[in-house]
Amino acid sequence: MKRNRRAVLSAALYFATVMSLLAAPNASADLFVSSQGTNSVLQYNETTGAFIGTFASGGGLGAPNDLRFGPDGNLYVSSYTSDNVLRYNGTSGAFLNVFATGSGLSGPYGMAFGPDGNFYVSSNGSNNVKRYNGTTGAFIDTFATGGGLNSPDGLGFGPDGNLYVSSGLTNAVLRYNGTTGAFIDSFASGGGLSAPAGFVFGPDGNLYVSSFSTDNVLRYNGTTGAFINTFATGSGLTGPIGLGFGPDGNLYVSSGSNEVLRYNGTSGAFIDSFVTAGSGGLNGPSYLTFSAPVPEPETYAMMLAGLGLLGFAARRRKHQAAAAA
């Protein structure tokens, strides 16, 4: 009977700990938007879209494009006019250093940390993708080029591990081998795609691409690249560049109307102007990203309490077993 009670207690403690761990990803994560006209990164509340403050600026940042939180928790921003990638403290927004520069990098746009841990940047002026050490920022090589790549913009690794790059002047998203950089194919085009900019693989596995010149977001099959439909359009959307799915599962798109619009993540129906026009000085929004969710203090407390109880129960069983021996 005692063994049964102990087993039930242990199971309950284990369940409580697991539930607290599962609760952690639901914590808050704010929206960050590159504001080209103000040479800064602006921060907005994840739930309301209210302006919080200017998160990052300085360090020579000029016409910021893509922005990503790296594995080290810091914020990386491609600075178009200074031909480099700058790094800012991921908590305070303080300028840290010029992370990646030189070796022909010209007009950087999209960027991503690859499966190998290294850092990849689309070089718009030289029509290729540069690779840098993901820890030091030291130049490694020109990773991808050719295949008709002309005016590269958005960049990212797909579910298949390969590298995808939007080619602005050939109206296509190109695919390169994620290990060697060899050109594979023109993965997505057609459907009216014109001057593709940012893109993202959605929760449904399909590819969503900002079509800058046609003022909409197009959807393509994530496996074959076949055109599916015009997913999001209208309601003031103009010259979209950055886009991403938020913690609520909806699609957020930067608009040349100096706002961030929100569309239903399943149907593409317009929801609202999440960041209203000019909020916080937003001028020329480019790319956007949500910060990684940070567990609230209560979640940490639950996790620690659950783990502590599990440890106590384990020690008690050990002592009882030793006494019985």
Evaluate whether 98 touches 84 at the Cβ level (below 8 Å): yes
Residue 259's nearest CA partner among 281, 234, 230 is: 281
In the chain, the amino acid numbered 78 is S
- For 76, the enclosing helix (H) or strand (E) is strand 75-79
CA-to-CA distance for 225 and 219, rounded, in angstroms?
9
Instruction: Find out whether 53 and 43 touch, Cβ atoms under 8 Å.
Output: yes
Q: What is the model's pTM?
A: 0.84
Question: Distance between CA atoms of 211 and 204, rounded to whole angstroms?
Answer: 20
Residue from 18, 129, 133 nearest 71 by CA: 133
Q: What is the pLDDT along the chain (325 residues), one digit of tens a residue?
A: 444 444 444 444 334 443 444 344 445 689 999 999 999 999 999 999 999 999 999 999 999 999 999 999 999 999 999 999 999 999 999 999 999 999 999 999 999 999 999 999 999 999 999 999 999 999 999 999 999 999 999 999 999 999 999 999 999 999 999 999 999 999 999 999 999 999 999 999 999 999 999 999 999 999 999 999 999 999 999 999 999 999 999 999 999 999 999 999 999 999 999 999 999 999 999 999 999 754 444 433 444 444 444 454 445 555 555 555 5
Q: 23 near 55, Cβ under 8 Å?
A: no
